[in-house]
Amino acid sequence: MTTRAVVSDPEIMNGTPCFQGTRVPFKNLIDYLKGGHSLSDFLVQFPTVSREHAVQSLEEAKDSLLAQMG
């Protein structure tokens, strides 16, 4: 099984879902994309987040949404 890209730990940012190994909230990525910025822009602003984790987090969010709808 693959490690999740986004985790929630009550000891980190009060349990806010963050990218694994960082204090960067997943919501920041969604806000960047919603604001019309690219994934590359996000990665420049948050260099502790890898491209792989960012893409994986979006895939996980997609899968979760589709599972809830299906």
Tell whether 62 is covered by a domain. Answer: yes
Tell whether 1 is covered by a domain. Answer: no
Predicted confidence at residue 68, as pLDDT, reads 94
Domain containing residue 35: CATH number: 1.10.10.10
In terms of residue numbers, what domain contains 64? 6-69
Per-residue pLDDT 10s for the chain (70 aa) are 578 999 999 999 999 999 999 999 999 999 999 999 999 999 999 999 999 999 999 999 999 999 999 7
State both tokens at 6. Answer: 């986004």
Predicted confidence at residue 2, as pLDDT, reads 73
Sign of CA dihedral 32, 39, 43, 62: positive
Predicted confidence at residue 21, as pLDDT, reads 95
Tell whether 65 is covered by a domain. Answer: yes
Task: Please enumerate in sequence order all residues whose Cβ is within 8 A of that of 2, keeping only pairs 6 or more positions apart, or say none.
Answer: 56
Q: Domain total for the chain?
A: 1
State both tokens at 4. Answer: 């999740």
State both tokens at 45. Answer: 């602003």
Tell whether 45 is covered by a domain. Answer: yes
Predicted confidence at residue 31, as pLDDT, reads 98
Sign of CA dihedral 44, 28, 57, 62: negative
Distance between CA atoms of 54 and 21, rounded to whole angstroms?
Answer: 13
Tell whether 47 is covered by a domain. Answer: yes
